[in-house]
Amino acid sequence: MKNPVSEASIRQSSQPRAWRGLRRLALVAVLAIGLLTQPVRAGEKQEGTVRNSRWVYEEVLQSQTRRLPAAILQATKCIAIFPGLKEAAFAFGGRHGTGTITCRNDEGVWSPPAFLKLSAGSFGLQIGYQASDIMMFFVTEKAAQAILEPKFALGGDLSVAAGPYSDTAGVTSAKDLTQDIYIYSRASGLFAGASFEGTRLAMSSKAIRRYYGHYIWPGAILFEHDVPFMPGEAEEFVDGLQQIRWE
């Protein structure tokens, strides 16, 4: 004679295992569908950085009220742009952010954008003012070559100063350029009381990989203009720079 208690116990114990197996299969199916339908596209965060960088340089370089000295524009070899740096994370008084960088060749053609990281223990005004958008003008060969270093520091490896304007400074020719890098803020243009000592810059391989689909040596992007494709906002970024009068 069969034991009804034993049969009921077997049926009850086998049901949870069966349901668990079905749930696992359903979860795998959902994940597989999600992977298949996920669009392949440039990193959304990097797209925004490129797009915002263009807006920043347009504001700075096309201003009708405060113009940059022609000597700086003519000598510029590379520019780095950090849009919305005021929104970067703060930690122990430091500031961190990612921006774009582009360099022009001897024919005056600007490169596709690469990405640069900034980190500093005491970057920004020491009087409580919070800078927003920042542009760095690399005006010497030494500064341009330093970009390819694993990491370089402003004020140590490279000399740096707040950028002057045509109506405020006696910068009329290349001989008046005494710094490697000149820095401007879209908010105020001049960092009175600011300290750039110890500010570190380094190429962001992660941002490059996400934007272009795989890692590309920064030198190939900036000095050989070699990228697998040009996203729409990158084309607009470069085209806008080409239309600016660099003198």
Q: Which of 110-124, 142-156, 157-171 has the lowest mean pLDDT?
A: 157-171
Residue 227's pLDDT is: 95
Q: How far apart are CA 113 and CA 57, in angstroms?
A: 13
Contacts of residue 36, Cβ cutoff 8 Å, sequence gap at least 6 = none
Strands 181-185 and 160-162: parallel
Q: What pTM value is reported for the model?
A: 0.74
Q: How far apart are CA 213 and CA 136, in angstroms?
A: 27
Q: Which of 11-20, 44-53, 74-83, 179-188 has the lowest mean pLDDT?
A: 11-20
Sign of the alpha-carbon torsion through 21, 23, 28, 32: positive
Tell me the pLDDT tens digit for each residue of 39-91: 445 588 999 999 999 999 998 888 877 788 888 899 999 999 998 765 444 44
| Whether the predicted pLDDT of 157 surpasses 90 | no
Q: Which of 55-64, 87-96, 194-203, 224-233 has the lowest mean pLDDT?
A: 87-96
Tell me the pLDDT tens digit for each residue of 142-152: 999 999 988 88
Average pLDDT over every residue of 11-32: 49
Contacts of residue 99, Cβ cutoff 8 Å, sequence gap at least 6 = 49, 53, 80, 81, 82, 83, 85, 115, 116, 118, 134
Residue 113's pLDDT is: 97
Strands 134-138 and 181-185: antiparallel
Q: The tokens 């002057």 sit on which residue?
A: 164
Residue 16's pLDDT is: 53
| Whether the predicted pLDDT of 92 surpasses 50 | no
Beta-bridged to residue 184, according to DSSP, are 135
Is the pLDDT higher at 156 or at 171?
A: 156
Is the pLDDT higher at 123 or at 79?
A: 79
Average pLDDT over every residue of 117-133: 60
Mean pLDDT, all residues of the chain: 76
Q: How far apart are CA 9 and CA 183, in angstroms?
A: 77
Give the number of other CB atoms < 10 A from CB of residue 96: 15
